[in-house]
Amino acid sequence: PSRSEVSYFGAGPAPLPTPVLESAASALLNYNNTGIGITELSHRSADALAILSATQSALRHLLDIPDSPGADGYQILFLQGGGSGEFSAAVYHMTSIHIGALVAAGTPDADIRAAAARMKLDYLVTGSWSLKASQEAARLVGAEHVNIVTDSRQHTPDSKFGTIAPASTWRPTPTATGDVALTYYCDNETVDGVEFPSAPSGPNLVADMSSNFLSRAVDVKAHAAIFGGAQKNIGTTGITLAIISNSILPPHATMADPKLLRKLGLPVGPVVLDWPTIAKNNSLYNTLPIFDLWIAGQVMARLLSHSPSGTTPRISVQERESVHKATLLYSTLDAHPTTYTVVPATSVRSRMNICFRVAAGDVSAEKAFLQGAEARGLLGIKGHRSVGGMRASNYNAVSVAAVEKLVAWLEEFARERGG
Ligand code: PLP
């Protein structure tokens, strides 16, 4: 089929909007009439710096990110290493400033040792990505420092992910002790189709927004850090975004001396994941993939152009579209309960990854559904290998028209089955 005959609901990088891809093709050949292609531009050239600053500024506008130089401002960083790299970066950084604060306060060595032994990283495990992040924390600092605040699998009849238990059941480390270096959550669980209706709270809050970045407004000020890979809603694989509070960066926060961390048995991270180093160098500590950055900037510019300048935050136009598309899909699934079952609990259904079963998971019915979808150019609907079933990803690049085509197929298939 030709590209225009296909609607792709894949879990991986969503296909980018056609106008962005078309200008990307020409930028690869000759960027902005410079005579050289964008992948040939030095990351320190004036053109690259202009792309960097335009992309930072677009993101600031879309999410209303405070840019004061004081502790209440936020830095926007671009890195490599993906969401997974940031699982580790968050642990390295938050443990370092946890110890650094004790040093800066003149705490005696013995008390620092005791505090380091008590330090906790609190993880809300609501799906397979937050589980992975918590496992990385345990690998880096030791399981004794990782507190699982909630594990959604303990709250479902089949012991699988698919819900977020009420906050009244959570077991956070008591904040009064000052031992919580990090409270971590994954805003949208890509594989399991579970999304936080609103951000949880906790000290030193860090969020993974890899799969719902730029799909709704975010209370940035409630977070110490927010990160995500670009490849779902923002652009191409190869670039990671991080929004970091000045309050956790020097000079507002103190990094612990690596020698001290080693003495305390705590890890020292690689410099390419070190937020202060990346911030100090305006994301150019090492070579930044300028093409990926430019794509992200083009997608953001497009989002901005769709939202009038008086809109606050500017992302709210895209948020309305995301909700509209997700509502179309969920209401169709709910209207045919004998044919379709939505997997996650109603209150935590993701707007981005719509996970459902056909005929209660009957193998031949699910195969027939997928084959019919494919015949209609509706691709990428097979669920993640670890959970099976169907997953229609509804990223920003998926148009309302594409969703309407899928809705038509959902209805036709249900009619054929008499449900
Ligand atoms: N977090 C979430 C929510 C994801 O969906 C993914 C990848 O799909 C990751 C983290 C890992 O990202 P990466 O592959 O960029 O390391």
Domains 46-298 and 315-416 share a fold: no
Whether 210 is in the pocket of ligand 1, judged by its Cβ within 6 Å, is yes
Report how far ligand 1's centroid is from the alpha carbon of 393 (Å).
Answer: 14
Strand partners, 342: 356
The yes-or-no verdict on residue 4 having pLDDT over 90 is no
Mutate to test the pocket of ligand 1, among 211, 234, 237 (most ligand atoms within 8 A of CB): 211
Whether 186 is in the pocket of ligand 1, judged by its Cβ within 6 Å, is yes
| Domain parsing of the chain, residue ranges | 46-298, 315-416
d(CA 370, CA 411): 14
d(CA 252, CA 273): 19
Architecture of the CATH domain 46-298:
3-Layer(aba) Sandwich (3.40)
pLDDT at 18: 87
Give 341's DSSP letter. E
**CB neighbour list of residue 54: distance below 8 Å, 6 or more residues apart:** 297, 301
Contact by Cβ (8 Å): 319, 180: no
- Ligand 1, residue 190: give the atom nearest the CA: 5
State mean pLDDT over 380-386.
91
Q: Which fold has domain 315-416?
A: Aspartate Aminotransferase, domain 1 (3.90.1150)
Whether 190 is in the pocket of ligand 1, judged by its Cβ within 6 Å, is yes
Contact by Cβ (8 Å): 89, 248: no
How many Cβ atoms sit within 10 Å of the Cβ of residue 366?
20
Whether 229 is in the pocket of ligand 1, judged by its Cβ within 6 Å, is yes
State mean pLDDT over 405-414.
98
pLDDT category of residue 13 using cuts at 50, 70 and 90: confident
Contact by Cβ (8 Å): 125, 146: no
Cis peptide preceding 200, ω within 30 of 0: no
Q: What is the tens place of the pLDDT at every residue in 70-115?
A: 999 999 999 999 999 999 999 999 999 999 999 999 999 999 999 9
pTM recorded for the entire structure? 0.98
Q: What is the tens place of the pLDDT at every residue in 312-328?
A: 899 999 999 999 999 99
Whether 211 is in the pocket of ligand 1, judged by its Cβ within 6 Å, is yes
Whether 330 is in the pocket of ligand 1, judged by its Cβ within 6 Å, is no
How many Cβ atoms sit within 10 Å of the Cβ of residue 345?
15
- Ligand 1, residue 11: give the atom nearest the CA: 8
Whether 100 is in the pocket of ligand 1, judged by its Cβ within 6 Å, is no
